[in-house]
Each structure stands twice: as C-alpha cells, then as structure tokens.
Amino acid sequence: MKPRITVVGSVNMDLVFRTPRMPAVGETLLGHEFRQIPGGKGANQAVAAARQGADVSFIGAVGDDGFGDFSQQCLAKEGINIHHLARVAGVATGVAGILVEDNGSNSIVLAAGANATLNVNQIEAATSAIAAAQLLLCQLETPVDTVTRAIAIAHAQGVKVVLNPAPAQQLDPALLKQVDYLIVNETEASQLSGISVTSQSSAQQASERLLDLGVGTVLLTMGGDGALITQAGGSEFIPAIKVDVVDTTAAGDTFVGAFAVGIANGLSVSDASREAQYTAALTVTKLGAQTSIPHRHEVLDFMQARKVA
C-alpha cells in the first residue's frame, strides 16, 4: 500500500527570472529568461511526496483566477487529492517573484493571496483527511492558527506530524510539543531556538534547545553542507550530495516531502534523511520548483549511479 500523507499548505505561482546577479537598489538589470512555474511550499512538498510514491491529500486555497485554475490542474495531474483545496472568489492565487542567479542561488518575494484565507473551519472540515493519514505535513505560508489546529487534530488522532516552519517566525512551545519531526534551516533554527546558527557546533546547540522545547526529532538542513539530525539518543550529520547546481528553488521542499515519505514507509530517520538528500540533490540540477522535483525512479537510478542502492 502507498503511504498516506496529508499536506496543509500554500499554493503559489512562481514568476522566475534568471539573472546574472541580484540587481542593486534602483538598478534595472537585463535577465536571461522568464518562466511561470507552479510552486508554493505546501504544493511543492505535496508534489515531492506524490512523486516519491505517496497517496497525498492536500488542504489549501487558491484564487478564482487563471493561476488558480492552472495550479489545481497541476496538483490533480500528480494524482493528489484536491477535494479540500478551496477556490476563493475575488482573491488572487498566491504569487512568488523569484530571482535566480547564474550560480543557482535565489531570492524570493511572496504575495500570499488566497493562502492567507485558509482558516480553521476549513481544517475542521478536513478532519477525516488528517485522521486517515499516517503523517501530516505543514509549513508556515498559511496562517499559524490554521496550522496549529491541523497539528492538534493530527496529534489527537495519533498521526505523526512533520513541521517545516518556513517562513521563520516564533511559535508557541505548546505547538512544538506536538511536532514529531521539525525540519528547519539555519535561519529558522536560530529564530526558534534563540541560538545563532553559524557552524555545525552552534547547529548542534540550537537543535538540542529545540528538543528541550518538546520537539521529537530535529533535522537542521545546512544547504550544500548537509543535514544534522538530533534526537534524544544523539546526533548524526549527513553530508550533502555534490552536484552541479542550476537552481536551488524547491530543494528544501523536496527534502521535506521525500523525508516524509521515507518515514511513512517505515524507514529510520537516518535512512529517510539520506534518501531525501539524494532527492533534493537532483532538484537543484534543474530550473524551477515543481518542474525540478524528481520522480522515484529517477532517484533510484541516481542512487544506483552513486553506488548507494
């Protein structure tokens, strides 16, 4: 049987500009390329989970515009259950403006649009979709009270919770106590723990602080360096997979979605993280968000080529 994952999260249309570098204030810079690509942290993670073989249900909101139509079609094409994806009249679908430099790094500006309308009533209406899952996956591009309620329902139903608290913001310790797997980058770990993460040593300190706040397991992703796993029994650092970087957009989301599938499939945290690293590594070799997320057979071929499968 396929692992069952329910995602509460955002849907955006990504407006992607390729540029030789980031423009200075007041500067007009000639770019290389422009593309419209479906994105949003929630949708990206849902697509990543679906392409790794999960049965995915999605809870979110889009506007009643062309971007909303296209986003719905893209999610449905992946086999994702969008019964709980609301269409909000008179509101625009979320949009992300993304500048991608030639070296693959990016800067992103978000306009939440319909994502900001996702409310607790919609979460309550989707209780059955949360309760039926093996794992609930959330981020913070939708209102925190909505995410809080979804996590509370999952926790009460015995459904494991993966939280990717991005964009970074302060969270109630009571919420963190209900999180089984917290996946953070250096910025998010710094804000949640109060410890500035600038090295593997400080990453360890921040992760231990998050455990003290009640989180079950902390995965601190450190970009091209790798990921630090911290649990009650100790820590493990997993180096990143080295590839030629085209665009880092959605690499983190792909890691999260793939990790969730690994856990739902019964893998250990270490093994799920390793597979997620390979999946994310493939993502950065292509341009865009959902256009770059690999399918399961591509990941297995990649791992076999690297002699790990």
Residue among 181, 180, 225, 174 nearest 203 (CA): 225
Helix axes 269-283, 251-264, angle to 10 degrees: 150
Can you tell me which residue has the tokens 């889009």?
A: 62
DSSP 53-81: T-EEEEEEEEESSHHHHHHHHHHHHTT-E
Structure-block tokens of residue 133: 């899952």
Q: Is residue 14 a known part of a binding site?
A: yes
Q: Is residue 265 a known part of a binding site?
A: no
Q: Is residue 102 a known part of a binding site?
A: no
Residue among 180, 220, 178, 171 nearest 200 (CA): 220
Q: Is residue 141 a known part of a binding site?
A: yes
Q: Is residue 303 a known part of a binding site?
A: no
Q: How far, in Å, CA of 190 to CA of 207, rounded?
A: 9
Q: Is residue 41 a known part of a binding site?
A: yes
Q: Is residue 288 a known part of a binding site?
A: yes
What H or E segment, with its residue span, contains residue 42? helix 41-51
Q: Is residue 64 a known part of a binding site?
A: no
Q: Is residue 223 a known part of a binding site?
A: yes
> Is 212 considered catalytic here?
no
Q: Is residue 226 a known part of a binding site?
A: yes
Structure-block tokens of residue 193: 């723990």
Q: Which of 55, 65, 180, 253 is catalytic?
A: 253
Q: Is residue 12 a known part of a binding site?
A: yes
Contact 29, 21 (CB under 8 A): yes
Q: Is residue 286 a known part of a binding site?
A: yes
Q: How far, in Å, CA of 291 to CA of 271, rounded?
A: 25
List the binding residues for K(+).
247, 249, 283, 286, 288, 292
List the binding residues.
12-14, 40-44, 141, 185, 221-226, 247, 249, 252-253, 283, 286, 288, 292
List the binding residues for substrate.
12-14, 40-44, 141, 253
Catalytic site residues?
Answer: 253
List the binding residues for ATP.
185, 221-226, 252-253
